[in-house]
Each structure stands twice: as structure tokens, then as C-alpha cells.
Chain A
Amino acid sequence: MPLRFDGPTVRFEGLCMVEEALGLVEHWRETPPGTVDLSTCTHVHTALLQVLAAAAPAEVIPPSDPTLARFVAPILASRRPLP
């Protein structure tokens, strides 16, 4: 299970694929989003990133992979509309 739910904290591990997205949304519908730990994940599917961007959790621990961390950031910040 790549996603570990621990109360308000969600830990992403390894390859996090599209199937997890609905579970994540449902989890956050019940428990308001707290900390998201991406440090040990190696890839996050776009659908999951969308949920992260929409939920805007209080704290996101970025992935340890610097490239992934660099390009995940703009998605989490994607609150501007498409011009």
C-alpha cells in the first residue's frame, strides 16, 4: 500500500499510482488534511497531485528526489486558472 494514512498525516511511499486517488479524497473528506509526507515516494501520479493541490494540506514534506521535488512544487501551487 503506497499510501499510509495516520490520522491527519498521509505518507506516500514508492510509486503512488492513479488507483489511490479516490481513497485519498475519501480519507480527507472525513479527516481534514494535515501533513503530507512525500519524502519516500519515487513517483506521484497526476491524479494524486491534483488531490493534493485541491486539498492544500497544511504541510507537505517534499520528496527526497530533488528533480521530483522541484517539479511537484508547481503542481501543489497550481491555484491560478488557465488564462
Chain B
Amino acid sequence: MSNALLARFIPEARDLLQSSASGLLRLEKSPADATAINEVFRAVHTLKGSSGLFDAVALTRLVHAAEDLLGEVRSAQRELDSDLVDMLLDSLDQVSAWIDHLERHERLPDDADRVCKAAVGRLRDRLAPAEAPASSDPPAEEKPAAEIGWIADMAEADRLALFSDAARGHPVLAVHYVPAETCFYNGEDPFGLVLQVPGLGALDVVTREPWPPLEELDPYRCNLAFRLLASGARVEVEHLFRYVSDEVRIDQVAPDALIRLAGAPAPGPLPVVEDFAEEARACLERRDWAALRTATAALLALTNPELSTASALRWLDAVSAAPFPNAAHAAALIEAVATGEPPRLGSADVEPPRPVLATLRPRPGTVPADARDAASGDVEALARRIVAAQRCVLAEAQALDRVRAHVGAVATVLARLLPGRADDGLCARIAAAARVAETDGDAGPLLDLLGTLDDATDGGTAAATTVAPGTASVVPAPGADASAGEAARDERGAARMLKVDQAKVDLLMNLIGELVVSKNSLPFLARRAEHIHGSREMAREIKDQYAVIDRLAQEMQGAIMQVRMLPVSEVFDRFPRLVRDLARKLEKRIDLVVEGEDTAADKTIIEALGDPLLHVVRNAIDHGIEPPAERRAAGKPEQATIVLKASQEADHVAIEVRDDGRGIDPAKVRAAAVAKGVVDAGAAEALSDQEAIRLIFRPGFSTAAKVSDLSGRGVGLDVVLTTVEKLGGRVAVTSRSGEGTTVRIAMPLSMAVTRVMVVEVGGEPYGIPMDIIAETVRVPRERIKTIKQAPAFVLRDTVVPLLRLARTLGCGTAAADVAAEAVLVCRIGGAPIGLVVDNFREGMDVILKPFDGVLAGMRGFSGTALLGDGHVLLVLDLKELL
């Protein structure tokens, strides 16, 4: 793949898909599992994030839709039912298919957009069905006026026009755009961009820094910041600013936020204002908007347009001219006209605390805006800090004689904060002091009370916060520190993992294999040194060196084996999904229990195990497990259990598939086997029940005819047996009618090194895999009997047929007349057989190389191995040979 980033993304994406799928299945079982939902959400979220790097929009969108749905599940807005899991799993499957396509073609299939649209549609349908179908956008949150103080800086005429638009249903957006200083070098023209804002209704421009004299002006450094109001669609504005999205802040504002009075307050009570107010109140009472407008216009004509009273009248006109006038706003404006005070338009009416915060700014740290307290869970400390901050605000306001403007906000904060932290009496006194401050403009009593509160909660730390700003922020919160340390550890842990291409590991293993073989030539060299060159000394030294190299080679081999070891969970992971899907399809209730998934074995073994296990598990579900009704009738729980268990036993790994289904009926198997011609009737009768059950592994024994009313898939279990045995494993099946079936697969831990026994036949050495050899015996000639023209002998009361390997291999035997035959007793397919050989030699570990090229078709041999002395050893495959 040419795109290295994509090449890294693909395995990562597969891992993420796998972990989200298994997490989903866990969630389905225990919906309250917070770890599982977090894990799934994180995996899907990460996938969405990394997929955004590539040209795979459809994939990102689909994952995004799934993420949204999962987000709702996570925040407990939605319950996860089986249908939802189905849908999410289907989406993940689709993503998985796309990942495969991406790997092959580096792009998504042509129909991806269409598929994505359909899939996203299905997911979105589930997402918040209560929401109006037309509005796919989340309802934009309207900003309270106090937060966007600069709206008041906009020209009143502009605001009036926007208000009238807003009253007709055009949302008003407040955009704050601070272009980067270097934006001109990127070819940007911020003013040009601003002019394109749809429905641009008001613009205010401020500078980052005061303009320097022309001599120092750098015309190519942007010193401007734009604040604008627009009545366009939010999506269009967002689209316009998409390339500078981090430089803009777009808020939707409530229409009443636009109502700000301009102009100077009236110097004294205006004549006729009282009359107007009375008349206007009456009009409002009757909801006679036309009359109210007439009265307003009449007074406006008499009022100096520069006065704030005129401004209030203009707003009153705008409010009453709206298609659906807001009576509360109108009432507030009428009072504003009457009293000359700013209108009280509800909670958002507090004068923005901006001026005081601005005065605080030159001394950062006075109120350490540090959220770490909250992170570390120290709510009390945070509360103390908030109280201290209120004292700062009040003190500043007191100094500037602006107490009235801020005491309201302070009182609100305290009223929310204090209950539960201070006794009721103190709360009441504080509320009273706040009222005094509001009416008299003197915050002294309130400040004193807050001081006592501080002292009561904490002996003066808060005071220290106020007096010596910044001290609190210097002390790092212990929680934050610990989590930082953890993160660092995690990072180191991640760095230790290395993703290596398997081919490189295989190459290393082959090289080590070669080393093992060439190391074996050293003993031969030692022997030559002694016998041919007559130097015992040299021979001993070579042997010493050999011992060292031998040990190192073995350690290396062990180490590389460890690298290739994979946990069986690699194969087990796909079963929860398979069992769930099949069970749902067949309307059976099955619980899959997985045990020992950490058991490790060589990668080749693990990979080869997948298909046989699949057949076995499928068979258990299809034929073993009964439908719930039948189980109930049999007195079993409706929920069937399949246990998938792995364990390590000596030098092999054992995998067990156990179900509690109906079991295998030996009589039916016998009958079916006879009917299929797998065995003849006599042989079938002679078999024990357990042996009869093994007939299901015979080729030609169709699953369809087995003890099941469900049709089989035409996959015989013989495939299982062949695959497993090819890898040197064994399969055993036990079953009790009505109680269940257990299939046990035993596999060697590793296949890299094969242990063989070397035997001599016709003067040539041959290797025979150790795992099929039962024992070696020397049988006196007279004990060999001929039964039905076939030689055999009796070994511990069992008749063992004899086979002359020399004859089978077609070579002459060296020792024709010896008193006792060397017999190698092997077990092939469970039955013993005696192989007559010329001589036994040593057992050894070899690296088995299968035949290739023209020799690949040779039957009877599993391959060759190179011996230390340079000879080639042929290793027999007895199953094929006999």
C-alpha cells in the first residue's frame, strides 16, 4: 500500500471494530455495564476521528451516526435493546467491509455514499424519534444577553432592524471573529469574508492593540477583530467561516438581547411622560398594539431623539410592531420610559458585569480561574474560592462606586451556593445585606458578612487568596499531579508495544531454525576432530562451545516462540457474535461462556483453529441445542449454555466445546452411518457407543442426516478432524443423550519444531513423528502369528497387526534373520499398529520442511529435515502411507 498512514489505520480500525463489537455484546447482556459502554463509545469515537484523515467521508459519517446513538445510550437517554445492537453491529459490519475495500483499493466502493445514506438514515431514525423530523440540527441554544455584552455597542438602528427580522422568525446570530495576526499571508481578507455573511445586519470593529503611529505600523499584521450581528442561517454562516472556525465564535442570541437603550438619560422628569405611561399601560392591558404604537409615535415626536427615553420609545414601537408582540417586553419598556431607568426584561436584564471584569483583568490571578479544584473533587475549596471571588467583585465595584450594577449577580451566586454550607440565619443576613447594597449602593455590610463566612469555613485561606493573588494557583492539585503521572506511565507502556509484520517474525524464526540445525553439526565436528585428526583436546573444546551455543539457540527458539504466541481469544472473539446471531435466527436462547481465553499457542495453530471450531460451535447450535419449548419439556432451563474453554496441558493446548443440548444418540448415528454406507451394519453393531459417536467425523457422514430436524449446512465434521490432525492435533467427542455433547480438540503448542524418532529401514534413516508413537518393543519371531494372511502379535492382550515398513517403502531389509523384530507401536486413528523396522535410533527435534516443487505431490511423506551431519532425513506421514 502506497499510503503509509492508511496502512497503519487499517489494522487499528479492525482492532477498534472488534473491541466495539465485543463491547456491544457485553452491553446487551448487562446494559448497566458502564465500562463496556465507555469502551464501545471510545472505540467508535477514535475510529471516527482517525477515519477523518482519509478520503472516506461515507465511513466517517456512518461511524458518526453510530457514535451519536451510542452517546445517547451512554448518557442513559436511550436503552440498548437487541434490535439496536443488531443495527449497530450491522453498521460495524458495513464499516468493516469498507475497511477491507480500503485496504485493497485505497478508496471506498462507488456505492458507499448510497449505502451510507441508507444506513445513517436507519440509525438517525432511532436517534431521538421525538424530534421533529425536519430539523436535523440540534436546536441552537439561545445565548442570554448578559453573555454577549458587545451587542449594546451596535448601532441602535441596526439592532432595531435585526429585532424586526427576529420577530419575523429569522434567528439572530452574534459572530465574534478575531482573525489570526498572520492571516494576510494566507491570502485571507477578513473584511471580504465578513461582507459575505448572509443577512449581515450590524458590524462593529475593534482593534487588538491601539493603532501605532504610521511609522511603526505593520500593514500586513492584522490588528482587527470583528463583531457582527446577522439574521442568516447558522449553517450558512458556519460554512462561510469553515476555514477559520477556530477564530470565530457564533452564538444565536435571543431577540430581547437586542433591546438596549442608547442615549443620555433624561435630565429631569419629562412632561407628559406620566400621561403617556398611563395610556400605554391601558393599551397594553387591552392588547391594543395599534393604539400603543400611535401613542408611542406621538411621544417620540415630542422627545429629544438623543435621550434614552427616545430610545426606549423606539424599542417600544419595534416590540409592538412585531407580528406577535411580547407583552412583557412592552411593559418593561413602558416602565423604562416612565422612570428613565433601563428596561427590566427578565432575568437577562442584569447589566453585564463586563466593566468590572475588565478592570480586574490587569491583575490576572486575583481570582484564580483554576478548575483543578473541581477536578480533584474538592467542592468545599471551590466554594470558598467562589465566595472569595464574589468578595473581589464587590470590593472592586465598591471602589468604582458601581455596587448596584453587580450586587444582583453576586446575590444570585451566593443564594445558589450557600444553602447547605452556612446556617439559615447567616443566609438570611446575607440576603438582607444584599438588599441593602442594592438600595443604598453600599456593599460594606455584605463584604463584612462574607468575611465572617470565609473565616468560619476556613481560617483565612480565602483571605490569603484575596490579599495575595496567585498563591492558590501555584500549589498544584494533588489529583491533577497523580493523573499526569498516570498518563506519563501509560505513554511509556504504549511505547513498549511494537507492531511487527508477521513475515519478519517468521524470517527470524526460520533463521533460528537454521541456527539450530547448523549447531547440530558441531558434535559431528568434535567426533571428526577426535577420530580423524586425533585431537581429544580439540574435541572437548568444541563440545564445550557446543554446549554454550546449544543453550543460547534453545533460549532464542523459546523467545521467538513467545513472540509468535497468541491468546486463543483471537479465535474466541468471533464466537459471541456468531452464537448471538445464530441463536436469534433459530429462535433459541443460548448463553455462551468463554473460559481461559488467555491461553496462548503458536499463531499458526490459533489461526488454523478458527474453522474447525466454527464447525463445531455451529453444529452445537444447529443440532445440539434444542428449541426452548423442547428444553422446557425436558425439564431443562430454556437458556442453553455453550461453554468454550481453552486450557494448556503439558505441551498442547486443549479446546473444549461443551453444550447442554440433547446430546448425540449413538443408535441414530449407527443407523445413519450404515444408511450412508460409511460402515457396514456388522461393524456398526460392534462399535461401542463412544466409538459410534466418533462416526460423525467420518467423511461422507452428512450433518443433514444427523439427529436433528434442522437441515445441515453440508459441512461434514470430517473437515474438523482432517484440519486438526493435519496440524498434529487430536479430536475427541463425548456425549450423553439428553445431557449434552463435549468436543475436545487438542493441539500442539507450537509447530515450528517437530519431535521425531529416527528409525532405520533398509539402511536408510527415516523420521516418524513422535506424537503417534505409542511404544517401541522387540518382538521375538515366534510370537508373530499370521491371522488371515496378515502378520500380527499380541501385546498386553491386544492384537496388534504388523506391517513391514521396508515392504511398504519398497526397499530391501538389511537384517533378514534376527531373533526378535524391532516393532514400533503407533496409534493411527485410535487403532494400534506395529511397524517392523530394522533398528531404532535416537529421537530428535527437527525443523520440518514440507516438499515443494516437483516433489510436492509425493504421498506418504510429511517432509524433510536437515540433520547436523548434512544428511537429509525423510519424515514419514504414516496416515497417508498406510
Contacts and interface: CB of A to CB of B under 8 A. Distances in A.
B731 interface: no
B194 A21 contact: no
B122 interface: no
B214 A55 contact: yes
Nearest to B190: A46
A46 B178 CA distance: 13
Contacts of B190: 46
Nearest to A75: B205
A71 B212 CA distance: 23
A1 to B, nearest CB: 17
Contact of B184 (A18, A25, A53, A77): A18
A81 B210 contact: yes
Contacts of B215: 29
B191 A49 contact: yes
A21 B200 CA distance: 26
A25 B224 contact: no
Interface string A48-62: 111101111000000
B686 interface: no
A29 B218 CA distance: 12
Interface in A20-78: 21-22, 24-25, 28-29, 43-51, 53-56, 67-68, 70-71, 74-75, 77-78
Interface string B44-81: 00000000000000000000000000000000000000
A74 B217 contact: no
Contacts of B192: 43, 45-46
Contacts of B150: 83
B209 A75 contact: no
A54 B216 CA distance: 10
A36 to B, nearest CB: 14
A43 B195 CA distance: 10
Highest count of chain B CB atoms <10 Å: which of A45, A74, A75, A81: A74
Contacts of A71: 191, 194-195, 200, 203
A55 B206 CA distance: 15
Given A47-B184, A71-B200, A25 B195 contact: no
Highest count of chain B CB atoms <10 Å: which of A21, A25, A49, A50: A50
B211 A25 contact: no
A44 B189 CA distance: 9
B208 interface: yes
Highest count of chain B CB atoms <10 Å: which of A18, A43, A67: A18
Given A45-B189, A46-B192, A71-B194, A82 B206 contact: yes
B358 interface: yes
B518 interface: no
A80 B200 contact: no
B515 interface: no
Given A18-B184, A46-B192, A74-B204, A28 B214 contact: yes
A45 B178 contact: no
Given A47-B184, A54-B214, A74-B204, A21 B209 contact: no
Q: Can you list the 9 inter-chain pairs with the closest CB atoms, starting with the nearest? A: A21-B219, A54-B211, A78-B205, A46-B191, A74-B205, A75-B205, A82-B206, A82-B225, A46-B190
23 contacts: A18-B220, A21-B219, A21-B220, A24-B219, A25-B214, A25-B219, A46-B189, A46-B191, A46-B222, A54-B214, A54-B223, A71-B200, A71-B203, A74-B203, A77-B205, A78-B207, A79-B210, A79-B211, A81-B206, A81-B208, A82-B207, A82-B225, A83-B358
Interface of B: 149-150, 178-179, 184, 189-192, 194-195, 200, 203-212, 214-215, 217, 219-220, 222-225, 354, 358
Interface of A: 18, 21-22, 24-25, 28-29, 43-51, 53-56, 67-68, 70-71, 74-75, 77-83
Given A50-B219, A83-B150, 16 more contacts: A18-B189, A18-B220, A25-B214, A25-B217, A29-B214, A46-B179, A46-B184, A46-B191, A50-B217, A51-B217, A53-B205, A54-B217, A54-B223, A55-B214, A55-B217, A78-B207
